Amino acid sequence: MAALFAKLDDVVLDRPDARVEFRSTIIADRGPRSAESIWGADFGLTAMLVENDTRTEKGVLGQAKHRPLAALPPKEAEQFRAQVAKMAEATWATIGLEVPAIPGVVPSVRIVGTTTTFGDAWAAQSVFSPSEGYETSIRPSRAGTGPAVLIWPALPLDDYLCDYVVGCPHGDRAHNFVQALSHSELPQLHVHVEKKV
Provide the residue-wise pLDDT of the chain in tens; the chain has 197 residues: 777 777 888 899 999 999 999 998 888 777 777 777 888 888 989 999 999 989 999 999 999 999 999 999 999 999 999 999 999 999 999 999 999 888 888 999 999 988 876 555 554 445 444 445 778 888 887 765 788 898 999 999 999 999 999 987 899 999 988 988 877 666 656 544 344 44
Identify the pLDDT of residue 118.
55
Identify the pLDDT of residue 196.
42
CA angle, residues 152, 78, 91, in degrees to nearest 5: 55
Contact of 112 with 135, CB cutoff 8 Å: no
Query: Within a domain: residue 131?
Result: yes
Q: How far apart are CA 24 and CA 105, in angstroms?
A: 20
Identify the pLDDT of residue 191.
46
Identify the pLDDT of residue 188.
57
Query: Within a domain: residue 134?
Result: yes
Identify the pLDDT of residue 122.
52
Query: Within a domain: residue 138?
Result: yes
Identify the pLDDT of residue 14.
94
Contact of 8 with 60, CB cutoff 8 Å: no
Identify the pLDDT of residue 60.
94
Beta strand pairing status for 54-65 and 94-98?
parallel
Q: How far apart are CA 96 and CA 63, in angstroms?
A: 5
Domain of 155 in residue numbering reads as: 2-180
Query: Within a domain: residue 192?
Result: no
Our count of domains for the chain comes to 1
Query: Within a domain: residue 195?
Result: no
Query: Within a domain: residue 188?
Result: no
Q: How far apart are CA 98 and CA 136, in angstroms?
A: 15
Identify the pLDDT of residue 197.
42
Identify the pLDDT of residue 16.
93
Identify the pLDDT of residue 27.
84
Say which residues have a Cβ less than 8 Å from residue 62's Cβ, sequence separation at least 6.
Answer: 41, 42, 43, 44, 45, 87, 94, 95, 96, 97, 109
Identify the pLDDT of residue 29.
75
Query: Within a domain: residue 191?
Result: no
Identify the pLDDT of residue 131.
46
Query: Within a domain: residue 62?
Result: yes
Identify the pLDDT of residue 121.
53
